[in-house]
Homo-oligomer: A and B are copies of this chain.
Amino acid sequence: MKSKESNTTLDPSTEEKIKNAARVMFTQKGYAATRTRDIAQEAGINLALLNYYFRSKEKLFDLIMLESMQGFIQSISGVLNDEGTSLQEKIRTLVSNYIDMLTLQPNLPLFVLSELRNHPHELISKLDFKEKLIRSHFFVQIQQAIIEGKIPPMHPLHFIMNIMGMIIFPFVGSPIIKNIGNLDQSSFNELMQQRKILIPEWIFSMMNLK
């Protein structure tokens, strides 16, 4: 077999090239609109090779999707479970990390949300995001804050929805936002950088926290 593992820094292995191309195409156009031929071309290889390595379009897609979600979950689970930080600090780093990630991969959320609508069951249960979030130190701190009266009593989900909404929506709706504000990519990114500071402040004042 070819040296897939050793060849990490130099030229990426063919398998890796295909996966990268697939990630780009799938996140850009979605599963249904992506052609295996386009992936092959983007990867600079032949169509048959794609099926040789990954057996089918669907298998390749599942892999890309799984890795994307796992990467995402792993990137935030560290923050969520840091027992040495306050709720406020967690929110600040969470927002900051999240925005940095989305600035690098702005198409990711729309891709994930779209595909999740069509294959709801499998992935969600497979990744068990629910358990990871609910058992996190972060979630406990929210409930604690409610019990202690530091936060007005409400369903913790509202809290989650608000944070996620304020972080994710601008990226999901970036064409509209850019249009309304006459923004090019760099001034859009500038706004997103501002939000790293602003969103935590808004959250705190929303929750009478701080």
A residues sitting closer than 8 Å to B (CB atoms) are 29-33, 107, 110, 113-114, 116-118, 120, 124, 129-130, 133-134, 154-155, 157-158, 160-162, 164-170, 172-173, 175-177, 179-183, 191, 194-195, 198, 202, 205-206, 208
Contacts and interface: CB of A to CB of B under 8 A. Distances in A.
Most buried by B among A158, A176, A194: A176
Count of this chain's copies in the oligomeric assembly: 2
Given A134-B180, A180-B130, A113 B157 contact: no
A166 B175 contact: no
Interface of A: prevailing SS: helix
B198 A154 contact: yes
Contacts of A31: 33
Contacts of A182: 130
A165 to B, nearest CB: 3
A179 B170 CA distance: 23
Contact of A118 (B29, B134, B155, B179): B29
A110 B117 contact: yes
A155 B180 contact: no
15 contacts: A107-B117, A155-B181, A155-B191, A157-B180, A157-B183, A158-B195, A158-B198, A161-B166, A161-B177, A164-B173, A165-B165, A168-B173, A202-B206, A205-B205, A206-B206
A166 B124 CA distance: 22
Given A169-B169, A175-B120, A176-B116, A157 B191 contact: yes
Given A32-B30, A155-B191, A162-B166, A124 B206 contact: no
